[in-house]
Structure 1
Amino acid sequence: MRTYLHRWAEAAGAHLLVVDPGSESGGLTDAMAARGVHVTWTRSTVDGLIEFGRVDPQAVVVAPDTPGLPAEDFVAALMRHGNPYVVAALEHARAGDIAPVLLAGASAVVTRPYSAIQLWELLNRSPRALDDHAKVTAGVIELDASAYTVTIAGGRIADLPLKEFELLRTLMLRAPGVMTDDELRTALWGSNASRPSGNTIAMHVTRLRNRLGDAADVRRIRGRGYSLTVG
């Protein structure tokens, strides 16, 4: 389950970049994954710049003592690429260190060691709403990854098992296009995971069809893959 949550958050959720020379502790990454947020942790500001361009995060947390570029120069570099939401990491014994980071453009402060609750609250203040990543709509079906809910015409259906939830979101993102078997395997099990058979995919599709009822159909297109048809 933990592996599934991390892969799900990375592929479909929001992204938080933490630039900090310390080590992740206290189950932060697991706790954020459970909320649909993937945490990328780098230990230098140079690596932080690379990851910023790669993952396009909702927010960036930077500790003033991170090696590489000075933290304030790192923040200034980010500010040249739009208006990212940057958070300065505060250690009470070194409170004065965050002033240059704030002057460079950081707009919030979080205390170290980090907590999932604190970071979740900060993400919800980000100008880039989490709903932009979490919610997907296809016809009368709405899926919310952050709340782990699916509604049909406003009525919530029973919580889906994780694989069916991932399958539905993947098909909704492509609808009415076709997802090949290989694309579904990668989306649901990852490119490096053991590759399930077509029968395994068909089993999950059958269960999902039964849950969706008349609201939508998951069609098997012979020789191509699966497609979600709504209405």
Structure 2
Amino acid sequence: MITNKKTNATNSPILLLTDNDFAQQASLDLQRAGYLPLFEKAQKGWQKLSILQPAMVIVDHSISGTSGVSLCRQLRSSGNRIPILMLVEQETVAERVACLESGADDYLLKPYNREQLLEQISLYLQSEVPVPEQLRFGELILDLSTRQVIRNDRVIDLTMKEFELLKYLMSNPQQVMTREEIIENVWGFDYRGESNVIEVYIRYLRLKIESQNSKRLIQTVRGIGYVLRES
């Protein structure tokens, strides 16, 4: 059983942009866990987002009258960095790629598992406000106060999970981190999701920080894990 240690960490609602079946059950589970769920139709919720100021958004990949992917892209293009959890029908590579490309921070398979839902929400909403600090590795800069990543004067936009993964690697430069260590420190000790989730996120992290002919910084150590070092 999951115990939410910080149920009063925020008074802001968790906005559900989903269809009725999920919203009804999820709302009940969230209320019992001490959260404040708020169900809205997709477009109406999107239009009221700045007024509602939710702590997190849960959006359905396939929702009546629109697309969860489209809503995520709209939100990210406006500069909003609120945590987004996307509900998907199938746990395929294509679905995960679509989530990442849209700007969602993570995904949850339908029909959803209550324990996993609360684990993921807790992971994002228990994050403390970071102190002003920067991590540096060569020309790569990670600013913990603004959550910005900069390389060669280029600001790189990362999802929350991509940021946490890069932060972990930059906190342990030149050290080979095993897949188990990465899962435990970035996804949580009790993570029970897809086994190749690290590979998916490493791929997109590389595409973002190693574009424009930049040198590769995240190296694969076959059979073990990954390490942040120059080639």
TM-score band, normalised by the shorter chain? 0.3 to 0.5
Q: Which has the larger radius of gyration?
A: 1
TM-score (structure 2 length as normaliser)? 0.43
